[in-house]
Amino acid sequence: MILQLTHIRLLVSNFKDCFLFYRDVLGFGIDWGDENSWYAELHTGDSIKLALFRKELMAEAVPSAYQPSGVECHNKVALVFAVDNVDELYQYLKEKNVTIVTQPQNRPAWGLRTVHFRDPDGNLIEFFSNLEAVN
């Protein structure tokens, strides 16, 4: 059996704000859906799609999918994106009033420069650049 990862699906409570965040703030193209739908697929520039799905609808399909919110538990997933310039994107995110978790910093043990922030539903996102590219 061969498995192929095709989607990363975020189960979100606030679909419209998340949709607008990924479309308007992060600039992803939309392959399917809109801010008034219950599901959307976003083009990430790769063969893997980022999908948004209303959490309560997934809970109807798979009742055990409804878990405690991020406030009641630690992060369970992080979306990680390679970018050309962490610092430029950090400034952009600040201008858009995005919730910043960590400011840009070099992480020599990782070989990366990173910044962490949250989408409107509280999902953790990391942007990184290789340290060689930064210097």
Question: Same domain, yes or no, for 93 and 56?
Answer: no
Cα–Cα distance between 114 and 131 in angstroms, integer? 9
Give the model's confidence band at 115: pLDDT under 50 very low, under 70 low, under 90 confident, else very high: very high
pLDDT at 4: 77
Question: Same domain, yes or no, for 81 and 58?
Answer: no
Calculate the alpha carbon distances from 105 to 1, 42, 90, 126, 127 in Å.
41, 28, 11, 12, 11
| Beta carbons of 31 and 49 less than 8 angstroms apart | yes
Residue where a domain stops, chosen among 48, 66, 84: 66
**For the whole prediction, is pTM greater than 0.85?**
no
Question: Same domain, yes or no, for 89 and 44?
Answer: no
| Beta carbons of 15 and 52 less than 8 angstroms apart | yes
* Token pair 């009033």: residue: 97
Name the more confident of 60 and 10. Answer: 10
Q: What percent of the chain has pLDDT over 70?
A: 83
Domain that holds residue 95: 75-135
Question: Same domain, yes or no, for 79 and 113?
Answer: yes
Question: Same domain, yes or no, for 2 and 60?
Answer: yes
b/e 30-66 (16+ beta carbons within 10 angstroms → b): eeebeeeeeebbbebeeeebbbbbbbeebeeeeeeee
Question: Same domain, yes or no, for 11 and 36?
Answer: yes
Calculate the alpha carbon distances from 24 to 2, 17, 29, 34 in Å.
35, 10, 9, 12
CATH number of the domain where residue 84 is located:
3.10.180.10
Give the model's confidence band at 5: pLDDT under 50 very low, under 70 low, under 90 confident, else very high: confident
Name the more confident of 96 and 47. Answer: 96
Calculate the alpha carbon distances from 11 to 14, 18, 49, 57 in Å.
9, 10, 14, 9
pLDDT at 134: 55
Question: Same domain, yes or no, for 42 and 79?
Answer: no
pLDDT at 42: 93
pLDDT at 66: 45
Question: Same domain, yes or no, for 59 and 100?
Answer: no
